[in-house]
Amino acid sequence: MAAGVADAHLIEVDRSWGVVGASTIGLTFSLGTLLLYTFGVFVRPLTAEFGWTRTQLSGALALSQYTFAFAAPVWGMLIDRFGPRAVLLPSVVCMALLVGSLSLLGNLWEYYLIFIAASFCAGGATPIGYAAVLVRRFERRLGLALGLAMMGVGIGAAVLPPLSAMLIHDFGWRAAYVGLGILTFVFTVPAALIATRRASGPARTGIATPLAPLLPTPMPVLPLIISRTFILICAIFVLLGATSIGTLTSIVPMMVGRGFTLQAAAKLAGLTGLAAICGRGGIGWVLDRVHPPFVVAGIALAALGAYLLAAYGSGGTSGTVMALLLGAVVGAEVDFTAFFIRRYFGEATFSRLYGVAFGIFLIGVGTGPVLASTSFDHFGSYRPGSLLFAAGAVLVVLLTFVMPRPPAMRRAG
């Protein structure tokens, strides 16, 4: 009997880590990796064909992030109400179609419209959808599970920019968008089905009302949203998001301006993704064992080094070190936010709180590229923007010192 219980436990563990693998694949082709991390590769081809400035192009990115900032809480509410599968599957299909439709661009307003539509139609194809699955399956090793799943963000950052550059070089930018759309559909639909196989229903916990004791209603989240801890979490990660994405989306044009070819600059951007892949699981392992704000402070110091190298580096070795340091930061905000909210506030309100926090985080993500592009358009250099980002990293370190300790973690059986 004991052997049978042990075998069942092993099967369950295997299935849980299979969910992590499927989530990793899904996040490789998520909303952020497809629109944010490939953005810099398409800047020069779109500018050459249509004459759009970099500020105009980054405006579409900003509008997309701002739109999703308001939509993210709704996506979190939908996941708590209907479950991850009902939200994730339609989202990945819409994401594939929208990316492919970028090949039909003819006007700037169409570019803006597609980026905005992605926020309304594909919001589940983000960490909101996949994190909701993982917090239902993991407790004691949640940090490791989130870290491994978020490796998909690093894989996307490593693979998609050079892949896009290769497709642009060989077939043109329109065919490159078509190719990305096809790959998104082929990989994400099976991944979403596997990830949500045993997490398809609504949130398991809530508050039962006197009139409907068997039909729990969602726990209220407003008192938690206005709490000091939640505000600190949002402030820390919106700063990290703005500075890291602002730098990441500028790497390709920044390096091309320093004499790199488009392909070489895209490979350097891909190196950021490789660094994220190598470090994400390790960072998640550390999160499960070290006071989490200390881990965030270390990540912010790595970000500070990356931004200073972006401001004063000359390419070559300094560019490589910058990419490696940035890789420790890019995407970390997303799994850190999920980890912090789960640890500080529990599972019952996770998707709604994470949706709010993710929406606020996206305001920073949308602002960062605009600040970087404006720095170049107005000063002829990315240096002022990089120095501003360095100041933001210093502020993050200071904020981590006032974060409380999370509640004692329940040990999983």
Model confidence pLDDT, tens digit, residues 328-355 = 887 677 778 888 888 888 777 787 888 8
Domains of the chain: 16-202+222-400 (1.20.1250.20)
pLDDT at 80: 78
Average pLDDT for 24-42: 85
Nearest by Cα to 57 from 105, 11, 122: 105
Share of the chain above pLDDT 70, in %: 87
189 or 327, higher pLDDT: 189
DSSP secondary-structure letter at 102? G
Question: Cβ–Cβ contacts within 10 Å for residue 56, how many?
Answer: 17
Model confidence pLDDT, tens digit, residues 36-48 = 778 888 888 998 8
Average pLDDT for 195-202: 66
Share of the chain above pLDDT 90, in %: 15
Q: Indicate if the pLDDT at residue 97 is higher than 90.
A: yes
pLDDT at 184: 92
Q: Which residue has the tokens 């420790």?
A: 328
Nearest by Cα to 126 from 70, 77, 88: 88
Both tokens assigned to 330: 């890019």
State the Cα angle at 155 between 33 and 188, rounded to 5°: 65
pLDDT at 176: 93
Both tokens assigned to 172: 């043109």
pLDDT at 410: 43
pLDDT at 219: 60
